[in-house]
Chains A and B, each alone.
Chain A
Amino acid sequence: MSARENILARIRAANKTANIDDVMDGAVADRLGSPPISALPKLDWESEVHFKLRCKESASSLDEIARIEELPSAVNRYLSKNVLPNKAVCWPEFLNLSWAAEGIQMESRGAIGDDKVGLTGSYCAVAETGTLVLLSGPDSHATTSLLPETHIAVVQRSRIVKTMEDAWRLIRGEVGSLPRQVNFISGPSRTADIEMTLVYGAHGPFRVHVIIIDQ
């Protein structure tokens, strides 16, 4: 017998020994068929307000714009203020904005080791934890939010959901099966592995800047 068969047989035998009631078998299909949501905390806040609060707590900075056309100037504002290079890589959806007018050299491709600034969109955002949800795909390189020292992310105001459960509901409804990777990102990369001292920029970005957009 294979390792797989042996292990599954041992699990069945162990559960029998432990007198686990097997009448529950239908419960497995039920749970998988319509996953129950349990023990939600009181979520007595307004999503956008709470999202911003949590972003700040996890050391992300914030900006807001009304229209996508305002994005280049918002990015320029942030880069200038923090004395960062005006050269960046982005997801394809943002390439055709007037970057040159703002003096920003923008390229649409995945990030490589030397890129300093990465601009991404987001699938949705979770207010409870101040989290960006990014799905991998042909037009959403995972490297853009990972390799550069600065990650700028655009979040649509209407897509700030309350909980991770809400994010799963949205993905199940709109996307169906999961993409290769779903990344939940909450602020810049960090570690406290040396004497519990919090340090940003362990391996991922040192800075995360969230730009909330109306449209």
Chain B
Amino acid sequence: MELTSHQFKSVSSAKLKDVKLQKALYQAKDGFVVSRAKVVAELDNFEEIRQAAADVRDHCLAHLDLYLEEWEKQAQAAGTIVHWAESYEELNALVVKIAQDNKVKKIIKSKSMVGEETGLNQYVEGHGIEVKETDLGEYIIQQADEHPSHIIAPATHKSKDDVADLFAEKHQRPRLDDAEKLTHEAREILRPHFLDADMGITGANFMIAETGSTVIVTNEGNGRMTTTMPRVHVAISSIEKCLPTLDDFALIMRLLPRSATGQVISNYVSMTTGPKRTGDKDGPGAFHVIILDVGRTRVLGSELREALRCIRCGACMNHCPVYQNVGGHAYGWVYPGPIGSVLTPAYNGIENAIDLPNAATLCNQCGVVCPVKIPLPDLMRKLRERQYEKNLKSSTEKWSLRFWAYLALRPKLYSVVTRVMARAGKVLGGDSRRIKRMLFAGQDWTRHRDLPAPRGRTFRDIYINKNKTANR
């Protein structure tokens, strides 16, 4: 997928003014945040489970070579054909080659974020092979020729009316005005494709080393269709999705659906081990898995390592005050929200996504809800430090920080300057006690909101005065 993170500021400004998007984000926020809180509270030992999950992820990453080798051994023993890819181009080419070798004309696809990274659909279609997305959200996005704005709910930025217009146009049927009817129309349209597609592509939420399996977690059933109906199944995944054992998976499953959609469990958890067996009446005759490493090993050896624990639940974005206001598209790549602000620069180069690690108040909502305890604010802070070292910060920001450092090292001067500013602020705030427009670097701050005006006295003054009163 094309990277547009450098436009973060302009795109997010536009998104803030997009009334429809703001309504959609508001709805989604309530849905995800409230339902998550409810099912997390049901567990008596949520924190213990989180810690255990973080430990398992760390353990697996520390021995990732051994676990991947074991996974491959078990997968091959079950008849799975395993491929490895070091670039997006390599993965896409492998998929097309498998399709061509099997004379595939039509592919049905279940949601895959790795596929979004590699731009798989476009590539495959460029080779004359039809690809149908089948997750309802992804299907909507594909029809609209857009990118997902959320990793769990790809079409969360679209309103029911948007979908109604889109379906009426694309399906050439009367316009429907009800989420249920729209969903069932998509079901009706996609069902024949499930039945006659030659190949199915899915992602893999996890790869289980113990058994050589891949797992997908879905609610709609399109994942089961995609892994069962066509004669060839290709799963695409990336190296860090490995888990040691089935019991480690069971542990993680207490966290993933709860953190993602606020469910105790997702409707369908489908664990696939190899192709159709002797005697089986259904299932694909060939099962391929392609394991990708783009950027992952670089992150593994870096200070951002903990980001690889991610199980792609989306809780960090659902709880992020920045994401809640600008939506996923502003982030300009596959993964939005706090995890995107870490992974996008980590995978694409920090100079290509300067704004993302800075588009955070470091409030740590993301860190608190992350089911595998990724210290997201710390990682964003580390990226900011690297930006500073690499001289990637704007000159305004650098000079502002230098000016502040100069003052902070001179307590008497600091006291005088802050006193002047506190008083000037009071005057500027006037009766409304709000500063509506600042100059220079302050322009960006007051463009979208007022600055509460200082009340005329500095913290130091009040503190000294209070001590005097107390000592009297």
Contacts and interface: CB of A to CB of B under 8 A. Distances in A.
Interface in A50-69: 54, 57-58
Contacts of B159: 195
A25 B64 CA distance: 11
Contact of A11 (B31, B247, B272, B297): B297
Interface string B44-78: 11001101110010010111111111100000001
A2 B83 CA distance: 10
Nearest to B58: A20
B280 A168 contact: no
B191 A141 contact: no
A41 B180 contact: no
B44 A41 contact: yes
Given A178-B213, A180-B283, A41 B49 contact: yes
A180 B277 contact: yes
Interface string A172-215: 10000111111111111111111111010111110000000000
A37 B269 CA distance: 19
B334 interface: no
B56 to A, nearest CB: 8
B274 A129 contact: no
Nearest to B46: A41
A112 to B, nearest CB: 8
A192 B31 contact: yes
A163 B254 CA distance: 10
Interface in B405-463: none
A143 interface: yes
A131 B266 CA distance: 10
Contact of A32 (B27, B31, B48, B244): B244
Interface size class of B (residues with CB under 8 A): 35 or more
A12 interface: yes
Given A41-B49, A141-B282, A3 B84 contact: yes
A195 B179 contact: yes
Given A7-B86, A180-B280, A189 B220 contact: yes
| Best-surrounded residue of B66, B78, B85, B227 (most CB of chain A within 10 A) | B66
A107 to B, nearest CB: 13
A188 B267 CA distance: 7
A82 interface: no
Interface in B91-146: 134-137, 140
A193 B135 contact: yes
A42 B279 contact: no
Interface residues of A, number: 80
B282 A201 contact: no
Contacts of B277: 136-138, 179-180
A41 B24 CA distance: 35
Nearest to A165: B250
B219 interface: yes
Given A24-B63, A138-B281, A39 B251 contact: yes
A79 B395 CA distance: 72
Contacts of B280: 136-138, 180
Given A14-B301, A180-B275, A37 B183 contact: no
B179 A197 contact: yes
B67 A199 contact: no
B21 interface: no
A19 to B, nearest CB: 10
A188 B184 CA distance: 14
A74 interface: no
Given A28-B67, A38-B52, 6 more contacts: A15-B61, A24-B63, A28-B70, A177-B78, A194-B183, A201-B183
Interface of B: 24, 27-28, 31, 43-45, 48-49, 51-53, 56, 59, 61-70, 78, 83-86, 90, 134-137, 140, 153-156, 158-160, 163, 179-180, 182-184, 187, 190-192, 194-195, 209-211, 213, 219-222, 224-225, 227-229, 239, 244-251, 253-254, 261, 264-277, 279-283, 291, 293, 297-298, 300-302, 305
20 contacts: A3-B86, A8-B65, A14-B301, A15-B64, A24-B59, A28-B244, A41-B49, A42-B45, A54-B264, A110-B282, A136-B283, A138-B277, A186-B267, A190-B267, A193-B156, A193-B183, A194-B140, A196-B27, A197-B180, A203-B222
Interface of A: 2-4, 6-8, 10-18, 20-21, 24-25, 27-28, 31-32, 35-39, 41-42, 54, 57-58, 109-110, 112-113, 128-131, 136-138, 141-143, 146, 163-165, 168, 172, 177-197, 199, 201-205
